[in-house]
Amino acid sequence: MVSYLARRMSRPRVVAIVLALAAILVVSLLPTWRAEAATPAATPAGTAAGLIPTLPGRVLLLGRITPHLQQLSVADLAAKYPQHTQTVTFQSGAGPQTHTYTGPTLYDVLQAAKPTFRSDVKNDALRYAAVIHASDGYESVLSWGEIDPGFAGTEALLAVTQDGVSLAKEGPRLTAPGDTKGGRYVSGVTAVTLVRAGL
Ligand SMILES: Nc1nc2c(c(=O)[nH]1)N[C@H]1C(S)=C(S)[C@@H](COP(=O)(O)O)O[C@H]1N2
Ligand SMILES: [Mo]
């Protein structure tokens, strides 16, 4: 077509038409490109969705542990740590819910991951917190003082079963016994980051 046009029109005119068509194409695609740049795929605003890689059937342990990146399968969680059973009730948008969970304590899992607590800083562990990340970008925090048996000693579990049903497919669920509302019962856990919140 271009050669047909070239035979009928002067060369500068063909060049001008091609450039004009290219400009129209770029201008018409610009809003799409800009929208894609502003909203990376499936990242709800204000969440870590997309920032933390999701390994199906695995939980990543990250942050102030030794080494800094570790991974566990749900089978590891069910076999390598002492298992606890707890029946808990929490308030949710769908009314109060009561469930029975089994799994290791978050405390045992993090202790085995060797936190980088400093022995030369008084109660360094009390400056630490675990961030629980879920597959949908939901996150919640438990401080070390909440889960350490020497302090509040909340038996937060990384539950691998709920009401007798395996959570291997959707990922473990954090429990927060003692909480009234269900907000910290994080489901579909993909990662736990141990952070040092002290300055
Ligand atoms: N991953 C994830 N876990 C979550 C939530 C969420 O949005 N995403 N919502 C929380 C809230 S606010 C409540 S009340 C409970 C509800 O539990 P259910 O999803 O089993 O009904 O889950 C909690 N865990
Ligand atoms: Mo909730």
Q: What is the mean pLDDT of residues 125-137?
A: 97
Superfamily the domain 47-196 falls into: Oxidoreductase, molybdopterin-binding domain (3.90.420.10)
Written as one letter, the residue type at 180 is T
Q: Whose CA is nearest to atom 20 of ligand 1?
A: 187
Q: Whose CA is nearest to atom 1 of ligand 1?
A: 187
Decide the pairing of beta strands 158-159 and 95-103.
unpaired
> Given the CA of residue 90, which atom of ligand 1 is nearest to it?
14
> Given the CA of residue 136, which atom of ligand 1 is nearest to it?
1
What are the pLDDT digits (tens) for 65-75?
Answer: 999 999 999 99
By most ligand atoms within 8 Å of CB, the mutation choice from 52, 90, 91, 92 for ligand 1 is 92
Q: Compute the distance between CA of residue 159 and CA of residue 189 in angstroms, rounded to an integer.
A: 10
Q: What is the mean pLDDT of residues 124-142?
A: 97
By most ligand atoms within 8 Å of CB, the mutation choice from 187, 190, 192 for ligand 1 is 187
pLDDT of residue 145: 98
Distance (Å) from CA 175 to ligand 2 centroid? 13
- Tell me which residues have their CB closer than 6 angstroms to ligand 1: 92-94, 134, 136, 138, 182-183, 185-188
Distance (Å) from CA 93 to ligand 1 centroid? 9
Instruction: Retrieve residue 88's tokens.
Output: 């808990």
Encode 69-94: b = buried (16+ Cβ within 10 Å), e = exposed: ebebebeebbeebebeebebebeeee
Radius of gyration in angstroms for the set of CA atoms belonging to the chain, rounded to a whole number: 26
Q: What is the pTM of this model?
A: 0.82
Q: What is the mean pLDDT of residues 127-132?
A: 98
pLDDT of residue 22: 56
Distance (Å) from CA 79 to ligand 2 centroid? 30
Written as one letter, the residue type at 114 is K
Q: What is the mean pLDDT of residues 57-62?
A: 97
Beta bridge partners of 158: 174
Terminal-to-terminal C-alpha distance of the chain: 69
* 166 contacts 160 by C-beta, under 8 angstroms: yes
- Give the pLDDT band of residue 5 (cuts 50, 70, 90): very low
Q: Whose CA is nearest to atom 15 of ligand 1?
A: 182
